[in-house]
Chains A and B, each alone.
Chain A
Amino acid sequence: MPRVCLNQSDEGLRKSSHMLTLPIDTHLVAGLTISVAFSLALLTLPWIAKTRGLWLLSLIAAAFYYWREFVGFVLVGGISFLAVIWLSKQAPQARRWRYACFAMLVLVAVFTCGRLWHWDRLWYFPVTGPLALYSLGMWPVLRLITLFWEVGSGSVAAPLLSQYVLWICLPLTLGSPLLRWSQMPGVFLPKPAALKSALWWWEAAAASAKLAVGVSLAPGQALLASHWHSHFGLNAVATFLTGPFGFYLTNAGYLHWMQLLGGLCGINVPESYNYPIGRENISAFWMNWNMTATFVFRDYLFYNRWGGLTYNIYFNSILLFTLVGLWHAANFYWILWGFLHGLLFVTYLLWRKFGKNWSHLPLRGTRVANLAARLLTYFSVCMCWYLPSKILQKLAAL
């Protein structure tokens, strides 16, 4: 499998190795550090929340987070803001929505081409040194799409510049999770009293434990990855245990921390993971895995009739998951990963529709069948990580 980074940086995803490895991404460390610093500043200097200091603080945080990509991030964000403002002035509603759809398609095309042709490569400038003049990561692109969708549909008004800067630069959501513009609070009311609550510290301990266990699995996974050709057992451990759990726990711990820090800052950061491992079917797995992103894909693609009167749930499932794969990285591994998830989902839909005819199957509805369903779901999800690299290897060998 290709290397899977823990955060939005997809550089590792472009390089093909053979197993799910878990490097400690610099964006993860930077995101956590910046978010803690931002929250502390807001708690110790609450007047910042009432002034322009808040968006200035967020802008500085984003500059540290993106570093050499910051200029590109500002340029892409600036052009998108101008487009949103222009869009919000269009009337009537039907025309605004058509333009919003066009803007979203352009954004997706730019995002994909940018990844294919590495538009984010560094340019050298005599005074500043190397800088990227383009940056559009997987979370910013999703955030901008939701903004075009919401403004285009007329459900929200276009943000002011200061609100927009705060929204796209908010440290708690820079690398994920997704906070839609409509979910952004108008006023930030820091809640330092939460620190006196035992529940907050209990949750902080849980988030830290998830993060610690997830991160500590990384060296083991790297070791297994280096020996994976030689031993079936090591391969199985890496595919079904250290890889998936390391990835899940690291992300879940990080995003749990974002929620806790958001609570202190007076921002309701939506939940991202709700114990997805061990769910009874693939639908339940996705309903609880990376939820902020999953719900956007569901709302925008699954509930879509593409202009027709009826809809095709199977086509939408395949398309949705293939695009989720493409969102992770523009390479065949991730496209295949998404396609396999789409097939899994279609299989589940067919089972749901026709499975009632097989009510005579032994053990149907028993605890044993329930346990088997949970194991099968987990096995299938792991195989979707594992199989694409094997398929691509076989194809390359032809």
Chain B
Amino acid sequence: MTPSADKSQQQRIEEVIRRALKTPASGMPAPLRMGSTPGWDSMGHMMVVMELEKEFGARFPPYILPQLVDVPSIAKALQRPA
């Protein structure tokens, strides 16, 4: 993946997380991370997962879900072969 495509994907992931947590961009500290980002706790996590799957047309296996704790880990999971 090229650096620009990488950045684009990262931005998309960030947008999806914000959308899932229903929080404006200004209301979230960077970097986005489960546990430190408001609303991204155990309950909010599944909302983030569902929104990511919808956006990227992916389907995360159950053992991946606990690992999706920040933008880099989500980007890495999205690059995994289905």
Question: A interface vs B, CB < 8 Å?
Answer: 97, 149, 152-153, 155, 283, 287, 298-300, 302-305, 310-311, 313, 349, 352
Taking chain A's interface residues, is the majority helix, strand, or loop, or is none over half, making it mixed? helix
A349 touches B61 (CB 8 A): no
A302 touches B42 (CB 8 A): yes
A311 touches B63 (CB 8 A): no
B62 touches A304 (CB 8 A): yes
Is the CB of B3 closer than 8 A to any CB of chain A? no
B63 touches A310 (CB 8 A): no
A158: shortest Cβ distance to chain B, in Å? 16
A305 touches B62 (CB 8 A): yes
Interface residue tally for chain B (C-beta within 8 Å): 14
B63: shortest Cβ distance to chain A, in Å? 4
B42 touches A298 (CB 8 A): yes
Q: Which residues of chain B have C-beta atoms less than 8 A from A313's C-beta?
A: 43, 46
Q: Which residues of chain B have C-beta atoms less than 8 A from A287's C-beta?
A: 42
Q: Which of B10-64 contact A (CB under 8 A)?
A: 41-43, 45-46, 49-50, 61-64
B63 interface neighbour in A97, A302, A305, A352, Cβ under 8 Å: A97
Q: Which residues of chain B have C-beta atoms less than 8 A from A349's C-beta?
A: 43
A295: shortest Cβ distance to chain B, in Å? 8
Q: Which residues of chain A have C-beta atoms less than 8 A from B66's C-beta?
A: 298-299, 303
A310 interface neighbour in B41, B43, B50, B61, Cβ under 8 Å: B50
Complex formed: what's the CA distance from A305 to B62 in Å? Answer: 8
A155 interface neighbour in B45, B49, B50, B63, Cβ under 8 Å: B63
Complex formed: what's the CA distance from A153 to B67 in Å? Answer: 12
Of B41, B61, B63, B65, the most chain A CB neighbours within 10 A belong to B63
Q: Which residues of chain B have C-beta atoms less than 8 A from A304's C-beta?
A: 62, 65
